[in-house]
Homo-oligomer: A and B are copies of this chain.
Protein backbone atom coordinates (compact mmCIF):
# COMPACT_ATOMS: atom_id res chain seq x y z
CA UNK A 1 0.00 0.00 0.00
CA UNK A 2 2.91 2.30 0.68
CA UNK A 3 3.83 3.37 -2.74
CA UNK A 4 4.96 6.95 -2.77
CA UNK A 5 7.23 7.10 -5.74
CA UNK A 6 8.71 10.48 -6.14
CA UNK A 7 9.86 11.21 -9.60
CA UNK A 8 11.80 14.35 -9.60
CA UNK A 9 12.79 15.90 -12.85
CA UNK A 10 14.69 19.05 -12.39
CA UNK A 11 15.73 21.49 -14.96
CA UNK A 12 18.58 23.80 -14.01
CA UNK A 13 17.51 26.80 -15.98
CA UNK A 14 20.80 28.58 -15.99
CA UNK A 15 22.86 25.57 -16.96
CA UNK A 16 20.33 23.64 -18.99
CA UNK A 17 21.05 20.43 -17.08
CA UNK A 18 18.48 17.73 -16.30
CA UNK A 19 19.11 16.19 -12.86
CA UNK A 20 16.82 13.37 -11.87
CA UNK A 21 16.58 11.21 -8.80
CA UNK A 22 13.81 8.74 -8.11
CA UNK A 23 13.20 7.75 -4.53
CA UNK A 24 10.61 5.21 -3.41
CA UNK A 25 9.63 6.15 0.14
CA UNK A 26 7.86 2.84 0.68
CA UNK A 27 11.05 0.95 -0.12
CA UNK A 28 12.94 2.93 2.55
CA UNK A 29 10.13 2.23 5.03
CA UNK A 30 10.34 -1.46 4.20
CA UNK A 31 14.09 -1.45 4.88
CA UNK A 32 13.57 0.47 8.15
CA UNK A 33 10.90 -2.04 9.16
CA UNK A 34 13.25 -4.94 8.51
CA UNK A 35 15.98 -3.20 10.50
CA UNK A 36 13.52 -2.61 13.36
CA UNK A 37 13.22 -6.37 13.79
CA UNK A 38 16.65 -6.40 15.37
CA UNK A 39 15.34 -5.27 18.73
CA UNK A 40 15.43 -6.44 22.33
CA UNK A 41 11.76 -5.46 22.66
CA UNK A 42 8.89 -6.43 20.43
CA UNK A 43 8.06 -3.95 17.63
CA UNK A 44 6.88 -1.27 17.33
CA UNK A 45 9.24 -0.68 20.26
CA UNK A 46 12.88 -0.80 19.27
CA UNK A 47 15.70 -1.39 21.76
CA UNK A 48 19.17 -1.87 20.33
CA UNK A 49 22.12 -1.51 22.64
CA UNK A 50 25.72 -1.21 21.49
CA UNK A 51 27.44 -4.52 20.63
CA UNK A 52 24.54 -6.69 21.75
CA UNK A 53 23.37 -9.45 19.45
CA UNK A 54 20.69 -7.23 17.90
CA UNK A 55 23.18 -4.42 17.36
CA UNK A 56 25.51 -6.86 15.60
CA UNK A 57 22.63 -8.14 13.44
CA UNK A 58 21.73 -4.53 12.57
CA UNK A 59 25.35 -3.91 11.60
CA UNK A 60 25.29 -6.96 9.31
CA UNK A 61 22.06 -5.67 7.77
CA UNK A 62 23.61 -2.25 7.11
CA UNK A 63 26.75 -3.75 5.59
CA UNK A 64 24.71 -6.06 3.35
CA UNK A 65 22.67 -3.09 2.20
CA UNK A 66 25.84 -1.12 1.43
CA UNK A 67 27.22 -4.13 -0.46
CA UNK A 68 24.04 -4.52 -2.52
CA UNK A 69 24.44 -0.88 -3.50
CA UNK A 70 28.01 -1.31 -4.64
CA UNK A 71 29.60 0.55 -1.76
CA UNK A 72 33.07 -0.39 -0.59
CA UNK A 73 32.85 -1.28 3.08
CA UNK A 74 35.29 -0.27 5.78
CA UNK A 75 34.92 -0.46 9.55
CA UNK A 76 37.10 1.39 12.01
CA UNK A 77 38.37 0.22 15.38
CA UNK A 78 35.30 1.49 17.27
CA UNK A 79 32.81 -0.05 14.88
CA UNK A 80 31.96 3.02 12.82
CA UNK A 81 30.93 1.56 9.45
CA UNK A 82 31.63 3.31 6.14
CA UNK A 83 30.41 2.52 2.61
CA UNK A 84 32.35 4.33 -0.11
CA UNK A 85 31.33 5.34 -3.60
CA UNK A 86 34.56 6.29 -5.30
CA UNK A 87 34.59 9.64 -7.05
CA UNK A 88 36.64 10.89 -9.94
CA UNK A 89 38.51 13.30 -7.67
CA UNK A 90 40.19 11.07 -5.10
CA UNK A 91 42.65 13.68 -3.81
CA UNK A 92 40.12 15.84 -1.98
CA UNK A 93 38.16 14.98 1.17
CA UNK A 94 34.99 12.93 0.97
CA UNK A 95 31.37 13.98 1.19
CA UNK A 96 30.29 12.02 4.21
CA UNK A 97 26.74 11.34 5.36
CA UNK A 98 25.33 9.10 8.02
CA UNK A 99 23.74 8.66 11.37
CA UNK A 100 23.28 5.89 13.95
CA UNK A 101 21.31 2.65 14.31
CA UNK A 102 21.43 2.10 18.07
CA UNK A 103 18.23 2.79 19.99
CA UNK A 104 17.54 3.53 23.63
CA UNK A 105 15.17 1.13 25.40
CA UNK A 106 11.63 1.29 24.01
CA UNK A 107 12.47 3.76 21.27
CA UNK A 108 11.13 3.90 17.73
CA UNK A 109 12.32 2.88 14.26
CA UNK A 110 13.24 6.21 12.61
CA UNK A 111 15.64 8.05 14.94
CA UNK A 112 19.11 7.63 13.44
CA UNK A 113 18.22 4.74 11.16
CA UNK A 114 16.69 7.09 8.58
CA UNK A 115 20.05 8.79 8.21
CA UNK A 116 21.77 5.47 7.48
CA UNK A 117 19.26 3.50 5.43
CA UNK A 118 17.99 6.71 3.78
CA UNK A 119 21.54 7.72 2.89
CA UNK A 120 22.23 4.37 1.22
CA UNK A 121 19.01 4.83 -0.74
CA UNK A 122 20.09 8.38 -1.65
CA UNK A 123 23.32 7.00 -3.06
CA UNK A 124 21.38 4.30 -4.89
CA UNK A 125 19.11 6.96 -6.37
CA UNK A 126 22.12 8.95 -7.56
CA UNK A 127 23.63 5.81 -9.06
CA UNK A 128 20.36 5.03 -10.84
CA UNK A 129 20.25 8.57 -12.20
CA UNK A 130 23.64 8.17 -13.83
CA UNK A 131 25.33 10.73 -11.58
CA UNK A 132 29.12 10.35 -11.28
CA UNK A 133 30.66 11.72 -8.07
CA UNK A 134 33.58 14.12 -8.17
CA UNK A 135 34.53 14.00 -4.50
CA UNK A 136 33.99 10.44 -3.24
CA UNK A 137 30.74 9.93 -1.33
CA UNK A 138 30.68 7.89 1.84
CA UNK A 139 27.69 6.70 3.84
CA UNK A 140 28.36 5.81 7.44
CA UNK A 141 26.80 4.34 10.54
CA UNK A 142 28.13 5.82 13.77
CA UNK A 143 28.86 3.62 16.75
CA UNK A 144 26.81 4.30 19.87
CA UNK A 145 25.17 7.66 19.44
CA UNK A 146 22.92 6.77 22.34
CA UNK A 147 24.43 6.69 25.82
CA UNK A 148 22.63 3.55 26.98
CA UNK A 149 25.50 1.13 27.49
CA UNK A 150 28.34 3.33 28.74
CA UNK A 151 26.55 6.52 29.73
CA UNK A 152 28.37 8.38 26.96
CA UNK A 153 26.55 9.66 23.90
CA UNK A 154 28.10 9.92 20.44
CA UNK A 155 31.11 7.73 21.23
CA UNK A 156 31.90 7.15 17.57
CA UNK A 157 31.73 10.77 16.46
CA UNK A 158 33.48 12.08 19.57
CA UNK A 159 36.36 9.75 18.81
CA UNK A 160 36.41 10.67 15.12
CA UNK A 161 36.59 14.33 16.18
CA UNK A 162 39.47 13.59 18.54
CA UNK A 163 37.62 14.76 21.65
CA UNK A 164 37.93 11.53 23.63
CA UNK A 165 40.82 10.53 25.85
CA UNK A 166 41.60 6.97 26.99
CA UNK A 167 41.03 8.08 30.60
CA UNK A 168 37.48 9.21 29.88
CA UNK A 169 36.61 6.21 27.73
CA UNK A 170 37.98 3.72 30.26
CA UNK A 171 36.18 5.43 33.13
CA UNK A 172 32.79 4.71 31.55
CA UNK A 173 31.71 1.22 32.54
CA UNK A 174 28.68 -0.77 31.49
CA UNK A 175 26.50 -2.73 33.91
CA UNK A 176 28.92 -5.64 33.65
CA UNK A 177 31.90 -3.49 34.64
CA UNK A 178 33.45 -3.48 31.16
CA UNK A 179 34.74 -0.39 29.39
CA UNK A 180 34.36 0.31 25.69
CA UNK A 181 37.56 -1.39 24.48
CA UNK A 182 36.74 -4.62 26.31
CA UNK A 183 33.24 -4.69 24.85
CA UNK A 184 34.58 -3.83 21.39
CA UNK A 185 37.17 -6.60 21.53
CA UNK A 186 34.48 -9.14 22.33
CA UNK A 187 32.72 -8.48 19.02
CA UNK A 188 35.83 -8.18 16.89
CA UNK A 189 36.45 -4.43 16.99
CA UNK A 190 38.94 -2.55 19.13
CA UNK A 191 42.72 -2.52 19.30
CA UNK A 192 45.48 -3.45 21.75
CA UNK A 193 44.84 -0.35 23.87
CA UNK A 194 42.21 2.36 24.07
CA UNK A 195 44.81 4.88 22.91
CA UNK A 196 45.56 2.83 19.81
CA UNK A 197 41.87 2.45 19.12
CA UNK A 198 41.24 6.20 19.42
CA UNK A 199 44.26 7.03 17.26
CA UNK A 200 42.98 4.70 14.55
CA UNK A 201 39.52 6.26 14.54
CA UNK A 202 40.45 9.93 14.46
CA UNK A 203 39.64 11.73 11.21
CA UNK A 204 42.78 12.92 9.39
CA UNK A 205 43.07 16.63 8.65
CA UNK A 206 41.00 17.49 5.59
CA UNK A 207 39.73 13.93 5.28
CA UNK A 208 36.12 15.07 5.20
CA UNK A 209 35.16 17.83 2.78
CA UNK A 210 31.57 17.97 4.04
CA UNK A 211 29.46 16.08 6.55
CA UNK A 212 25.68 16.05 6.26
CA UNK A 213 23.13 14.10 8.30
CA UNK A 214 19.49 13.33 7.48
CA UNK A 215 17.25 12.98 10.52
CA UNK A 216 13.67 13.22 11.73
CA UNK A 217 13.11 16.56 13.41
CA UNK A 218 12.31 15.19 16.88
CA UNK A 219 10.29 18.36 17.32
CA UNK A 220 6.87 19.51 16.10
CA UNK A 221 7.69 22.60 14.03
CA UNK A 222 7.83 21.21 10.50
CA UNK A 223 4.64 19.21 10.91
CA UNK A 224 2.80 22.09 12.54
CA UNK A 225 3.81 24.56 9.84
CA UNK A 226 3.39 22.01 7.02
CA UNK A 227 6.97 22.53 5.88
CA UNK A 228 8.59 19.66 4.00
CA UNK A 229 12.25 20.13 4.84
CA UNK A 230 14.18 21.66 7.72
CA UNK A 231 17.51 23.22 6.76
CA UNK A 232 19.50 23.05 9.96
CA UNK A 233 21.59 26.14 10.63
CA UNK A 234 22.87 25.22 14.11
CA UNK A 235 22.76 22.52 16.75
CA UNK A 236 21.87 23.71 20.22
CA UNK A 237 24.24 21.77 22.39
CA UNK A 238 22.97 20.70 25.75
CA UNK A 239 24.31 21.50 29.13
CA UNK A 240 23.62 18.81 31.71
CA UNK A 241 23.61 19.39 35.45
CA UNK A 242 23.23 17.07 38.37
CA UNK A 243 21.93 18.49 41.64
CA UNK A 244 21.68 16.44 44.83
CA UNK A 245 19.83 17.61 47.92
CA UNK A 246 20.26 15.85 51.26
CA UNK A 247 18.12 16.34 54.32
CA UNK A 248 17.74 14.28 57.46
CA UNK A 249 14.61 12.33 56.59
CA UNK A 250 12.18 11.20 59.25
CA UNK A 251 8.91 9.44 59.87
CA UNK A 252 6.04 10.84 57.83
CA UNK A 253 3.81 10.70 60.89
CA UNK A 254 6.20 11.46 63.68
CA UNK A 255 8.20 14.35 62.25
CA UNK A 256 6.35 17.65 62.57
CA UNK A 257 6.41 20.08 59.67
CA UNK A 258 8.64 22.70 61.34
CA UNK A 259 11.26 20.02 62.06
CA UNK A 260 11.60 18.83 58.48
CA UNK A 261 14.21 19.42 55.88
CA UNK A 262 12.54 17.55 53.06
CA UNK A 263 14.97 16.94 50.19
CA UNK A 264 12.09 15.98 47.89
CA UNK A 265 10.42 19.38 48.28
CA UNK A 266 13.76 21.09 47.63
CA UNK A 267 13.93 19.07 44.41
CA UNK A 268 10.35 20.01 43.50
CA UNK A 269 11.17 23.68 43.94
CA UNK A 270 14.27 23.37 41.79
CA UNK A 271 12.43 21.59 38.99
CA UNK A 272 9.95 24.47 38.90
CA UNK A 273 12.82 26.98 39.09
CA UNK A 274 14.40 25.39 36.01
CA UNK A 275 11.18 25.98 34.12
CA UNK A 276 10.95 29.55 35.43
CA UNK A 277 14.52 30.45 34.44
CA UNK A 278 14.08 28.92 30.98
CA UNK A 279 10.85 30.81 30.35
CA UNK A 280 12.55 33.90 31.76
CA UNK A 281 14.82 34.25 28.73
CA UNK A 282 11.73 35.07 26.70
CA UNK A 283 13.10 33.02 23.81
CA UNK A 284 11.44 29.92 22.43
CA UNK A 285 14.95 28.66 21.66
CA UNK A 286 15.74 28.10 25.32
CA UNK A 287 14.58 24.75 26.68
CA UNK A 288 15.18 23.10 30.02
CA UNK A 289 14.09 19.78 31.45
CA UNK A 290 14.32 17.99 34.74
CA UNK A 291 14.26 14.55 33.18
CA UNK A 292 15.52 12.63 36.21
CA UNK A 293 14.08 13.18 39.67
CA UNK A 294 14.82 10.44 42.17
CA UNK A 295 14.05 10.58 45.86
CA UNK A 296 15.12 8.28 48.68
CA UNK A 297 14.09 6.36 50.64
CA UNK A 298 11.00 6.73 48.45
CA UNK A 299 8.53 5.23 50.92
CA UNK A 300 5.13 6.77 51.53
CA UNK A 301 5.76 6.89 55.28
CA UNK A 302 9.20 8.51 55.07
CA UNK A 303 10.12 12.16 54.63
CA UNK A 304 12.49 12.21 51.62
CA UNK A 305 16.09 12.32 52.79
CA UNK A 306 17.74 12.55 49.37
CA UNK A 307 16.78 13.94 46.00
CA UNK A 308 18.78 13.70 42.80
CA UNK A 309 17.87 15.76 39.77
CA UNK A 310 19.43 15.60 36.33
CA UNK A 311 18.71 18.77 34.41
CA UNK A 312 19.15 19.40 30.69
CA UNK A 313 19.36 22.99 29.43
CA UNK A 314 19.78 23.93 25.75
CA UNK A 315 19.82 27.03 23.68
CA UNK A 316 21.10 28.03 20.29
CA UNK A 317 22.65 31.03 22.03
CA UNK A 318 25.57 29.75 24.11
CA UNK A 319 25.89 32.70 26.53
CA UNK A 320 22.13 32.79 27.10
CA UNK A 321 22.16 29.05 27.82
CA UNK A 322 25.06 29.57 30.23
CA UNK A 323 23.06 32.28 31.97
CA UNK A 324 20.25 29.83 32.63
CA UNK A 325 22.72 27.23 33.89
CA UNK A 326 24.12 29.77 36.33
CA UNK A 327 20.65 30.83 37.47
CA UNK A 328 19.65 27.22 38.11
CA UNK A 329 22.79 26.62 40.16
CA UNK A 330 22.06 29.77 42.18
CA UNK A 331 18.49 28.63 42.77
CA UNK A 332 19.77 25.28 44.01
CA UNK A 333 21.88 27.09 46.60
CA UNK A 334 19.04 29.39 47.65
CA UNK A 335 16.55 26.54 47.97
CA UNK A 336 19.05 24.51 49.99
CA UNK A 337 19.58 27.50 52.25
CA UNK A 338 15.86 28.13 52.77
CA UNK A 339 14.99 24.48 53.32
CA UNK A 340 18.08 23.73 55.39
CA UNK A 341 19.15 20.85 53.20
CA UNK A 342 22.65 20.17 51.92
CA UNK A 343 23.29 20.59 48.22
CA UNK A 344 25.91 19.31 45.79
CA UNK A 345 25.75 20.44 42.17
CA UNK A 346 27.94 19.55 39.24
CA UNK A 347 27.99 20.33 35.56
CA UNK A 348 28.05 17.05 33.64
CA UNK A 349 28.70 18.74 30.33
CA UNK A 350 28.32 22.18 28.82
CA UNK A 351 29.20 22.01 25.14
CA UNK A 352 29.19 24.96 22.76
CA UNK A 353 26.54 24.99 20.04
CA UNK A 354 27.64 24.02 16.53
CA UNK A 355 26.93 26.07 13.44
CA UNK A 356 26.19 24.53 10.07
CA UNK A 357 28.55 25.39 7.25
CA UNK A 358 27.04 27.92 4.81
CA UNK A 359 27.96 25.75 1.80
CA UNK A 360 25.83 22.93 3.15
CA UNK A 361 22.97 25.18 4.26
CA UNK A 362 22.96 26.61 0.75
CA UNK A 363 23.20 23.16 -0.89
CA UNK A 364 20.30 21.77 1.17
CA UNK A 365 18.05 24.78 0.64
CA UNK A 366 18.79 24.92 -3.07
CA UNK A 367 18.14 21.18 -3.44
CA UNK A 368 14.82 21.48 -1.60
CA UNK A 369 13.83 24.48 -3.71
CA UNK A 370 14.80 22.65 -6.87
CA UNK A 371 12.56 19.75 -5.82
CA UNK A 372 9.69 22.13 -5.17
CA UNK A 373 9.72 21.32 -1.47
CA UNK A 374 8.87 23.96 1.10
CA UNK A 375 11.72 24.44 3.53
CA UNK A 376 12.77 26.54 6.45
CA UNK A 377 15.98 27.26 8.24
CA UNK A 378 15.84 25.98 11.77
CA UNK A 379 17.86 24.94 14.76
CA UNK A 380 18.35 21.35 15.85
CA UNK A 381 17.57 21.29 19.51
CA UNK A 382 18.36 17.61 19.72
CA UNK A 383 21.90 16.37 20.01
CA UNK A 384 23.46 14.47 17.12
CA UNK A 385 26.76 13.04 15.95
CA UNK A 386 26.80 16.13 13.71
CA UNK A 387 27.60 18.22 16.80
CA UNK A 388 30.97 16.51 17.08
CA UNK A 389 31.56 16.12 13.34
CA UNK A 390 31.33 19.92 13.14
CA UNK A 391 34.66 20.05 14.95
CA UNK A 392 36.50 18.29 12.12
CA UNK A 393 34.41 19.06 9.05
CA UNK A 394 31.98 21.56 7.60
CA UNK A 395 28.65 20.21 8.92
CA UNK A 396 25.00 20.40 7.97
CA UNK A 397 21.74 18.57 8.67
CA UNK A 398 18.48 17.88 6.87
CA UNK A 399 15.28 17.42 8.87
CA UNK A 400 11.98 15.91 7.87
CA UNK A 401 8.74 16.18 9.88
CA UNK A 402 7.81 13.49 12.39
CA UNK A 403 4.42 12.88 13.93
CA UNK A 404 3.72 15.22 16.85
CA UNK A 405 7.45 15.79 17.20
CA UNK A 406 7.67 12.49 19.04
CA UNK A 407 10.82 10.47 19.23
CA UNK A 408 12.44 8.05 21.67
CA UNK A 409 9.13 6.23 21.91
CA UNK A 410 7.59 3.28 20.05
CA UNK A 411 5.02 5.44 18.24
CA UNK A 412 7.70 7.64 16.66
CA UNK A 413 6.57 8.04 13.03
CA UNK A 414 7.58 9.74 9.79
CA UNK A 415 5.42 9.62 6.65
CA UNK A 416 6.85 7.70 3.67
CA UNK A 417 6.31 10.78 1.51
CA UNK A 418 8.38 12.88 3.91
CA UNK A 419 11.02 10.17 3.94
CA UNK A 420 11.15 10.23 0.16
CA UNK A 421 11.50 14.02 0.28
CA UNK A 422 14.34 13.88 2.78
CA UNK A 423 16.22 11.18 0.90
CA UNK A 424 15.81 13.09 -2.36
CA UNK A 425 17.13 16.32 -0.81
CA UNK A 426 20.04 14.43 0.69
CA UNK A 427 20.82 12.89 -2.71
CA UNK A 428 20.84 16.23 -4.50
CA UNK A 429 22.77 17.89 -1.65
CA UNK A 430 25.47 15.24 -1.84
CA UNK A 431 25.58 15.53 -5.60
CA UNK A 432 26.08 19.27 -5.30
CA UNK A 433 28.78 18.96 -2.61
CA UNK A 434 30.51 16.17 -4.51
CA UNK A 435 30.73 18.38 -7.60
CA UNK A 436 30.29 15.43 -9.89
CA UNK A 437 28.61 15.13 -13.25
CA UNK A 438 25.10 14.32 -14.42
CA UNK A 439 24.56 12.30 -17.55
CA UNK A 440 22.72 15.12 -19.30
CA UNK A 441 25.31 17.77 -18.58
CA UNK A 442 26.19 17.78 -22.21
CA UNK A 443 22.64 18.45 -23.40
Contact = CB atoms under 8 A, between A and B. Distances in A.
Interface of A: 104-106, 217-221, 236, 238, 240, 248-259, 262, 264-265, 267-269, 271-272, 275, 278-279, 284, 286-295, 297-304, 310-312, 314, 380-383, 404-409
B255 A300 contact: no
A381 B254 contact: yes
A240 B300 CA distance: 8
A297 B272 CA distance: 18
A202 B351 CA distance: 66
Best-buried of A279, A299, A405 by chain B (most CB within 10 Å) = A299
Contacts of A297: 105-106, 291, 408
Q: For the complex formed by this chain, how many copies does it contain in all? A: 2
Contacts of A252: 238, 287, 289, 291, 312, 314
Given A104-B299, A312-B300, A382 B291 contact: no
A265 to B, nearest CB: 6
B293 A404 contact: no
Best-buried of A104, A259, A272 by chain B (most CB within 10 Å) = A259
A304 B289 CA distance: 8
A286 B258 CA distance: 11
B264 A279 contact: no
A405 B250 CA distance: 7
Contacts of A256: 219-221, 284, 287, 381
A116 B286 CA distance: 59
Nearest to A268: B268
A265 B271 CA distance: 7
A75 B286 CA distance: 65
A251 B299 contact: no
Given A253-B383, A381-B254, A299 B304 contact: no
A350 to B, nearest CB: 13
A298 B304 contact: no
A109 B408 CA distance: 46
A236 B404 CA distance: 48
Given A265-B290, A271-B268, A272-B269, A248 B404 contact: yes
